[in-house]
Chains A and B, each alone.
Chain A
Amino acid sequence: MKKVSWLLTLLLVGMPTFALAAGTIDGGSKQAINWSAIGMFVGFVLLTLVITYWAAKRTASAADFYSAGGGITGFQNGLAIAGDYMSAASFLGISGLVYTSGYDGLIYSVGWLVGWPIVTFLIAEQLRNLGKFTFADVTSFRLGQTDIRILAACGSLVTVAFYLIAQMVGAGKLIQLLFGLDYWIAVVLVGGLMMIYVTFGGMKATTWVQIIKAVLLLAGATFMAGAVLYKFGFSPEALFAKATEVHPKKIAIMEPGSLISNPLSAISLGLALMFGTAGLPHILMRFFTVKDAQAARKSVFYATGFIGYFYVLTFIIGFGAITLVSTDATFLDASILEKTKSGIAAIKGGSNMAAIHLANAVGGNLFLGFISAVAFATILAVVSGLALAGASSISHDLYGMVIKRGAANEQDEIRVSKIATLVLGVLAIFLGIVFENQNVAFMVGLAFAIAASCNFPVLVMSIFWKGLTTRGALIGGFLGLISAVVGVVLSPAVWEATLGYAKGSAPIKLDNPALFSMAIAFAGIWLFSILDRSKRAAIDRDGFDAQFVRSQTGIGAASATTH
């Protein structure tokens, strides 16, 4: 405990000086220093550190660390899940997409949201009844522990890695814009804070940081959308009319097409967003923090409401940015404007900054500070949830169940997950720097493809298909994982934009591989389960009935621990 308070003091003392130093380095060249923004940044960080401190004092057992002791209510969990969804990637990325492509941004939103009912209808309650800390608890319920845990851990970690990259890029860009800090310093800062939250506060701190941020973000976005509509006399028609007039693509922003070039690509992206939701480890993990299946269902309902409302707001914000930001020279880069003659392309800091500039346009400097602080908080909160999901999968699945065969000492397991958090943090910082110039919403799409092709098929088959065997799940799951990763690497986004090969040379034309990688995973699971005649397979199939009873009734489910 002594170590915690020492670190806290260090950070409290360090933060303002750090901001100050940043200010003096970059006085007027990049960005004027915004003191209200810095003040709110520091304020939020202080608040979250207090929460972390509070949570750290109450986090003793593994159940506290991984699932906040099961003591989160349905409404709180709904907010926290919504918070996980309303990541910086979706807030900045989607409003940025609406800013550049108009209607296509809405397609992303719908894909993201509609994954929700699927989660509810299919897996939320079964997950709560069967699982304890990670979704691998569910998939390995009747299957061979070791193999399935390794598979689940691989799926979780790859997903977490991609998602983390997207978050880090958003964080770097944002702080760079606000403080005039170098991109890499910003990324290191976020990674560092994330490591502190997760190592000391565990799930409880992560959840409360998420809840507070969700409330702040919803309030801020509501104000922004309201201010935009106010400027147009609350007539969406007037807003859209002005947007089509000033946007270089004119009326084309009101219909789909400019982003998604071919139909297969659109379907594939849809699949990834929809079923990927049901395979994201940091979301799945939230269902273990509530007390029973009823609360798990309720939390999905609340979350759907908040997320849906939020996406409607981002759509308005994106269009607001088209009308107010792309027409205002203060937000545009003069040299790019000269070359392209387009206010959309010339936006300072790239399209992901559309919402941030809009905040300045409608609410002035003070509100810009508020939105920037909230966006920063968003990244920190989501990144912490991800890191915790990744670390649990390393410590609970790999260390606790595979290496120690379920006989790990609780304290050792927690220690391993803290070390894993630190390793993940360093990795995230490194990858965040490598992937600097990707559109962040798109990177999230890639994470979803992998979640949809590895985690989701294994999870759903293990819950619903009696014939599933360990071998089938293992081979099919890895096939899905590998094909998703290969598909992503060979897709235009990575092959051309990141690896620098010539345009049009990407071996796979789909922006998102989910269409074929999900099919490969399901086919692989089915085929290798059917062919499996081993002794283990008989045990797997026999275990289904007991699992089915528990998943439907909750008899024997891990209960909430009280303090």
Chain B
Amino acid sequence: MLVVYFGFILLVAYAPKFLGMPLGSGVMTIGIPIGLSVIVLAFVLTGIYVRQANSSYDVLVRKIVEENRP
């Protein structure tokens, strides 16, 4: 996530012209879909993490806790 975000910010900082490149023949630039996909990606990655943590990770933690109960 950090990589994606700083990649985006570095693009903004050092290559604004790249993000300003027109897509196809119209006025739509490549920066629009890139920017929007960063937003979508943030949501998807959060979802994956929460799923993982709530299903498998917490079960593992509970197991360890149970095993160490005196």
Contact = CB atoms under 8 A, between A and B. Distances in A.
A274 B14 contact: no
A274 B9 CA distance: 11
Interface string B40-70: 1011011101100110001001001100000
Contacts of A109: 35, 39
Given A110-B38, A553-B61, A117 B45 contact: yes
B27 A103 contact: no
Contacts of B27: 237, 240-241, 244, 251, 254
Contacts of B49: 117, 120-121, 297
A312 B36 contact: yes
A268 B16 CA distance: 16
A311 interface: yes
A236 interface: yes
A189 to B, nearest CB: 35
Interface-centre pick from A107, A120, A256 (highest chain B CB count, 10 A): A256
B1 to A, nearest CB: 5
B54 A298 contact: yes
Contacts of B36: 106, 312, 315
Interface-centre pick from B5, B12, B45 (highest chain A CB count, 10 A): B12
A80 B12 CA distance: 31
A244 B32 CA distance: 14
Nearest to A105: B35
A545 to B, nearest CB: 14
Contacts of B35: 103, 106-107, 109-110
Interface string A304-338: 11001001100100000000000000000000000
Interface-centre pick from B29, B36, B50 (highest chain A CB count, 10 A): B50
Interface stretch (A44-52, A259-267, A349-357): A259-267
B39 A308 contact: yes
Given A254-B20, A257-B16, A312-B39, A110 B5 contact: yes
A526 interface: no
A300 interface: yes
A277 B13 CA distance: 21
A530 interface: no
A144 to B, nearest CB: 30
Contacts of B40: 308
Given A103-B19, A107-B35, A116 B50 contact: no
B1 A107 contact: no
B39 A113 contact: yes
Interface in A540-563: 552-553, 555
Given A107-B35, A266-B13, A308-B39, 13 more contacts: A103-B31, A114-B1, A117-B46, A236-B28, A241-B26, A244-B27, A251-B20, A254-B22, A267-B10, A294-B53, A297-B53, A300-B46, A300-B50
